[in-house]
Chain A
């Protein structure tokens, strides 16, 4: 009996099967790559806490597949560059550009972000996305004991992790600052947060359309929607009760933002970020740099609580993070945005403990009028603080920091813009360094013993002795 297949036919069949299997594999990988849903298949490892929100958008960091390090570095700077300059960064890249540092850069090239912040390597990633070499401080500061005898014998592996130093934003931790504020009382004499000043500087904000929308109270009858648009009475009532109506901001300002020639755009029922951007460009830009808004800034679908790594309430699963998620379209209630909007999603211990805290009691007192204005402490007071920001070359104003990551990670970045509005330095450092106090939303007194302040005090005493000799 003749065989059905000869040897040659058998080999051909194997090759055919290989070809079909390979094509199917390539096809399925291509589908996965271009579908945006399964791109994590191609990742060398999971992303860090600060970037996992962009897991389906490889090109957010890898804009050029063959660009290598310089392209990656440029993209780091595009998002994080504003904070990598003085005074926010005590080790700005420019400091290391001088050729005299060439030998140091050969050991660790600190002009590249990835030298200390390697992505896709969870096995070596510490808190705050750090993958820094253990000897990164040593190469420049190996003689520190000569300058600061109090540092004699200290290892160089935990300078930044012990809460003593922050490689980038060291503004609350440098020696002279510690010395100047180390004897502050736990509670300062005036316990108030900064007041927003947007309305008082509107004339100086060039992009603000003050000619079209002069600051004057508008009533429901003043709404300027086109005839073709029928307003929902509830939305109209919300708007007329809002700070927008009180400040003369009519429907068209958000739904039909004008171009440079003052011509109104076509009406959009849901204007999205564009509607906010025409007056609140600083806030929108900052929002896009934080975890909440980074997807929108990349042109992606909004972030949803389902993709969070922190515990979230199950009933918030279908929420999308846009400006209106927290502010609520039309009413724009900043009190709602400052507490309830946060607690509507976040379910971690710190968030759950907030309403039992003395900070919340102060917040409630301010809202019901029994407390002084600006004396309340909401979620936003600490996580989206009001900061004096240079918003242009000639204007600085008090802005609500909408990048909620900016004064966080490490939390010592909160000391100056947040804690020291009300608390002394030692109290603040002690509270932030105590994980149990952080978890219970600061119910209880922190340990007053802060070693870095002890060292600063020793340094100050040494200087006084030297002067008196």
Chain B
């Protein structure tokens, strides 16, 4: 597994445009500069993760934790439609990932995927499957503050794969997981690494 491979240029540009809104200042933008592959897959994945992580942290702290835990004006539930409740932060994240998968299909120039996984998953389908996922999720637990980068081949396609720690940013993160009937771990505390965000970018 080698870091920093050459990125598919079209993917790179598409992804750069998508991530740019939250992370890059496009001062002095020109067509030529836009077509130049000047961003490494690692930088691109880091940028994407920063947007994802910030959006979710805002949702968790400013909406779920404030309204459900603090103000107690509404609940948050995995069965949000049946319970007339807020979508859980992890579900908000997954729905976004599924929407990206659908939208990217209609726009081949934007080609990346991401998911939220854990070595203590509530839904067993979110346990690591590939070697990079297994190694990466353990790495971010054992090395707090560090990310994990690798390349892997899946279904005949090479990917740059990045794994970022997913940390309990609010008390509700830990308490929900600890109380869930299908959670294999029940002693999470705020600040603990509970899982990881896996971002994949296809490379040539």
Q: Cβ of A106: which chain B residues have Cβ within 8 Å of it?
A: 155
Least Cβ distance of A124 to chain B in Å?
27
Q: Which residues of chain A have C-beta atoms less than 8 A from B32's C-beta?
A: none
Which A residues are CB-close (under 8 A) to B102?
A: 94, 97
CA distance A100 to B155 in the complex (A): 9
Does A147 reach chain B (CB closer than 8 Å)?
yes
In the complex, are the beta carbons of B105 and A466 less than 8 A apart?
no
Say yes or no for B185: interface residue by CB 8 A criterion. Answer: no
What 1/0 mask marks residues of chain B from 80 to 122 whose CB sits below 8 Å from any chain A CB?
0110000000000001011101100100000001010000000
Does chain A have a CB within 8 A of B177?
no
Please tell me if A25 contacts chain B, counting CB pairs below 8 Å.
Answer: no
A376 contacts the other chain (CB 8 A): no
* Closest partner residue, chain A, to B127 (CB atom): A143
Tell me which residues from 129 to 147 in chain A have a Cβ below 8 Å from any Cβ of chain B: 140, 143, 146-147
The residue from B81, B95, B99, B115 contacting A100, defined by CB atoms under 8 A apart: B115
Decide yes or no: A94 and B99 within 8 Å by CB, A99-B159, A176-B79 being known contacts: yes
Q: Mark B172-185, 1 if CB is under 8 A from A, else 0.
A: 00000000011000
- Beyond A87-B81, A147-B124, A466-B181, is A99–B154 a contact (Cβ under 8 Å)? yes
Contact partners of B81 in chain A: CB under 8 A: 87
**A94-B79 in contact given A99-B159, A103-B154 (Cβ < 8 Å):** no
Are A98 and B182 closer than 8 Å at their CB atoms?
no
B-facing residues in A88-106 (Cβ within 8 Å): 92, 94-95, 97-103, 105-106
Q: A residues within 8 A CB of B79?
A: 176-177
B98:A99 contact, CB within 8 angstroms: no
| With contact pairs A94-B98, A94-B102, A97-B105 given, residues A102 and B154 touching in the complex (Cβ less than 8 Å) | yes
How many of A's residues come within 8 Å of B, CB to CB? Answer: 23
Point out the residues of chain A lying under 8 angstroms from B182, CB to CB. 147
Asked if B133 is at the interface (CB within 8 A of a chain A CB), the reply is: yes
CA distance A424 to B82 in the complex (A): 16
* CB-based contact A99/B82 at 8 Å: no
Contact A102 B181 (CB under 8 A): no
Q: B residues within 8 A CB of A98?
A: 97, 101, 113, 115, 200
Query: Which chain B residues border A94 with CB–CB below 8 Å?
Result: 98-99, 101-102
In the assembled complex, the Cα of A106 lies from the Cα of B202 at a distance in Å of: 18
> Count the A-B residue pairs with Cβ separation under 8 angstroms: how many?
54
Q: Does A463 reach chain B (CB closer than 8 Å)?
A: yes
Q: Determine the chain A residues whose CB is within 8 A of the CB of B155 once the complex forms.
A: 99, 102-103, 105-106
Cβ contact within 8 Å between B154 and A100:
yes
B146 close to chain A: CB less than 8 A: no
Contact partner, A463, options B82, B156, B181, B200, Cβ 8 Å: B181
Docked CA distance A99–B125 (Å)? 14
Query: Is B157 close to A, CB under 8 A?
Result: yes
Q: Is B31 an interface residue (CB 8 A)?
A: no
Q: Which residues of A contact B113 (CB under 8 A)?
A: 97-99
B159 touches A143 (CB 8 A): no
CA–CA, A146 and B123, complex, Å: 12
Chain A residues with CB under 8 A of B97: 98
Contact between A140 and B101, CB atoms less than 8 A apart:
no
Q: Closest residue of chain A to B105, judged by CB?
A: A97
Question: Within 8 Å of chain A (Cβ to Cβ): is B130?
Answer: yes
Closest to B180 in A: A463
Say whether B129 faces chain A, with CB atoms less than 8 Å apart.
Answer: yes
Instruction: Identify B124's interface contact among A99, A143, A463, A466, CB under 8 A.
Output: A143
**Chain B CB within 10 Å — which of A106, A147, A177, A459 has the most?**
A147
Establish whether residues B82 and A177, one from each chain, have CB atoms under 8 Å apart when the complex forms.
Answer: yes
Which A residues are CB-close (under 8 A) to B133?
Answer: 100
Tell me the bound Cα distance from A195 to B79 in angstroms.
25
- Chain B residues with Cβ below 8 Å from A463 are 181
Q: Distance in Å from the Cβ of A115 to the closest Cβ of chain B?
A: 16
Q: Closest CB of chain B to A17's CB: distance in Å? A: 53
Q: Which residue of B lies closest to A143 (CB)?
A: B124
A262 vs B156: C-alpha distance when bound (angstroms): 56
Nearest Cβ in chain A — how far from B166, in angstroms?
A: 16
Measured in the bound complex, the distance between the Cα atoms of B97 and A178 in whole Å is 29
18 intermolecular pairs with C-beta atoms under 8 Å apart: A94-B98, A94-B102, A95-B98, A97-B102, A97-B113, A98-B97, A98-B101, A99-B113, A99-B155, A99-B157, A100-B154, A100-B198, A102-B154, A102-B156, A102-B157, A103-B155, A106-B155, A140-B125
Nearest 4 A/B pairs, CB to CB? A102-B155, A97-B101, A94-B98, A463-B181
Known: A97-B101, A99-B113. 5 other contacts (CB 8 A): A98-B115, A100-B129, A100-B130, A100-B154, A100-B198
- What is the interface of chain B, defined by CB distance below 8 A to chain A? 79, 81-82, 95, 97-99, 101-102, 105, 113, 115, 124-125, 129-130, 133, 154-157, 159, 181-182, 198, 200, 202
